[in-house]
Amino acid sequence: MSAAEPSTLLDLVGRQFSPAAPNMVWYGDITYVKTWNGRAYIASVIDGYSRKVVGWRSRTTSTTKPGVS
């Protein structure tokens, strides 16, 4: 999807990024960090209310096995 194309994804939070209570909205991000041994990929989940990290995982590859089959 390019920046010029409108998004067809659903807006599940109605553009309300300041939830009224914990565990109502979680944000996720995946990034990588260059290291001496290659790259480390880091995925994190952040609670929208407290802005605290509620979960994270790091790996040496960007692919994973499905969590649920």
Residue 33 has pLDDT above 90, yes or no: yes
pLDDT > 90 in the chain, percent: 42
Least confident range of 4-8, 17-21, 36-40, 64-68 = 64-68
Model pLDDT, residue 51: 92
Model pLDDT, residue 50: 94
Residue 28: half-sphere exposure toward Cβ, Cα within 13 Å: 6
Mean pLDDT across the chain, nearest whole number? 84
**For every residue of the chain, which 3-state class applies, written as one string?**
CCCCCCCCCCCCCCCCCCCCCCCCCEEEEEEEEEECCEEEEEEEEEECCCCCEEEEEEECCCCCCCCCC
Model pLDDT, residue 18: 84
